[in-house]
């Protein structure tokens, strides 16, 4: 079988419509990248059919708005040539990690990084967390080849590469200094931020997604790009993109949810229904322009903010996406803290002292719960 320089842990529909699609399109353009071996790290037997269906070709249906134009197209993804499971194919996963892999991708769900009791066991256990499984694989690679490798987590964790490195280094504390030096010197740990709404799966494999997509990769010495693609960007720092996503897109969602909760709206209201309402859209724009924008002006990010707001509102208005505001409103008080209160703190840190009456009033109503 063809060698696979990209080894991916995770089978989510997000990865199918994001990294796997980008690599597929790059391969079609003649770039010497890929192909990919996809590894199911959860061991869930229910998803075995989906795992097998990734090999060869599967569809990604793109539906939404792109600069005001309605987009509906189906793309075929052909970058995946092998699928395995850590629960049944561990030896083969280890062989590919040691002999073939140059880049390792992961998106292992919200709990993938969570420590497990067996993480420090000397022998592999399927119940281990992803960082523990990765540590075992890195030990094998070090022992057999000591070849460099690039680790690129895509989990929605701030500084995900740094976090993963820290977890692996903690698990390697009892290893010899040579292995620890290998982790520091020859393993490139990459921070990245990903963004794309992938609204539903297709059967047996594939997904429905919006046109917008971003894979922002923080630059560092020795970085190897997984592929060249319009949606893949190398940036000097992820901080600015983090701020835009959290304080425009996420904050915007929370402002809409707060108004919906106060008005006791119906459970079947969708985000696109709200932004189709001229009064609601005007209120959202008022908050973004009068209360959020001054912070980005102070941070010298006014142009980036203005462009991102246009894109965000277009994403909210996606006529094909059934995004229920009731779902966004879950854990609302915590989101007010992480998105709105944090934005006000960030604004002050950037030198913005302007009044923010609407956002301040939202915080005041949730202050005891934040």
For the structural domain made of 239-366, what CATH number should be given?
Answer: 1.10.1040.10
Contacts of 193-197 with CB under 8 Å at 24 or more apart are 193/238, 193/241, 193/242, 193/245, 194/14, 194/18, 194/19, 194/107, 194/154, 194/156, 195/245, 195/249, 196/14, 196/17, 196/18, 197/315, 197/318, 197/321, 197/323
Give CA 9 to chain center in angstroms: 13
Domains 6-235 and 239-366 share a fold: no
d(Cα 196, Cα 324) in Å, to the nearest integer? Answer: 17
Domain ranges for the chain: 6-235, 239-366
- Let me know if domain 6-235 sits in CATH 3.40.50.720: yes
Q: Would you state the pLDDT for residue 264? A: 86
Q: Would you state the pLDDT for residue 42? A: 79
C-beta of residue 314 within 8 angstroms of C-beta of residue 58: no
Q: Would you state the pLDDT for residue 178? A: 97
Reported residue count of the chain is 370
Tens-digit pLDDT string for the chain (370 aa): 789 999 999 999 999 999 999 999 999 999 999 999 999 987 777 777 789 999 999 999 999 999 999 999 999 999 999 999 999 999 999 999 999 999 999 999 768 899 999 999 999 999 999 999 999 999 999 999 999 999 999 998 999 999 999 999 999 999 999 999 999 999 999 999 999 999 999 999 999 999 999 999 999 999 999 999 999 999 999 999 999 999 999 999 999 999 999 988 888 999 999 999 999 999 999 999 999 999 999 999 999 999 999 999 999 999 999 999 999 999 999 999 999 999 999 999 999 999 999 999 999 998 876 6
Backbone region of residue 112 per phi and psi (left: phi > 0; alpha: psi in -120 to 50; beta: other values): alpha
C-beta of residue 82 within 8 angstroms of C-beta of residue 7: no
């Amino acid at each position: 079988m063809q060698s696979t320089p990209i080894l991916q842990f995770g089978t989510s529909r997000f990865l199918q419509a994001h990294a796997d699609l980008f690599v597929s399109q790059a391969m079609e353009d003649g770039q010497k990248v890929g192909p990919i071996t996809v590894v199911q790290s959860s061991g869930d037997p229910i998803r075995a059919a989906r795992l097998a269906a990734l090999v060869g070709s599967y569809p990604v249906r793109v539906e939404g708005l792109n600069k005001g134009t309605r987009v509906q197209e189906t793309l075929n993804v052909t970058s995946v040539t092998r699928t395995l499971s850590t629960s049944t194919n561990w030896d083969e996963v280890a062989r590919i990690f040691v002999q073939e892999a140059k880049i390792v991708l992961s998106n292992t769900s919200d709990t993938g990084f969570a420590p497990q009791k067996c993480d420090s066991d000397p022998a592999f256990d399927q119940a281990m967390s992803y960082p523990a499984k990765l540590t075992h694989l890195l030990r094998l690679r070090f022992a057999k080849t000591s070849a460099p490798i690039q680790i690129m987590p895509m989990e929605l964790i701030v500084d995900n590469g740094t976090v993963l490195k820290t977890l692996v280094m903690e698990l390697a504390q009892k290893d010899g200094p040579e292995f620890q030096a290998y982790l520091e010197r020859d393993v490139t740990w990459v921070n990245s931020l990903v963004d794309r709404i992938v609204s539903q799966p297709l059967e047996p494999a594939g997904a429905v997604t919006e046109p917008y997509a971003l894979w922002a990769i923080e630059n560092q010495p020795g970085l190897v790009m997984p592929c060249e693609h319009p949606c893949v960007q190398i940036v000097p720092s992820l901080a600015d993109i983090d701020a835009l996503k959290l304080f425009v897109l996420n904050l915007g969602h929370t402002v809409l949810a707060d108004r919906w909760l106060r008005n006791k709206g119906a459970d079947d209201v969708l985000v696109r229904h709200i932004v189709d309402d001229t009064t609601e859209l005007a209120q959202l724009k008022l908050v973004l322009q009068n209360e959020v924008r001054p912070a980005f002006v102070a941070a010298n990010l006014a142009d980036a903010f203005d462009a991102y707001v246009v894109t965000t509102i277009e994403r909210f208005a996606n006529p094909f996406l059934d995004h229920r505001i009731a779902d966004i409103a879950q854990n609302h008080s915590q989101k007010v803290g992480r998105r709105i209160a944090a934005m006000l703190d960030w604004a002050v840190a950037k030198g913005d002292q302007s009044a923010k009456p609407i956002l301040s009033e939202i915080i005041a109503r949730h202050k005891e719960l934040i």
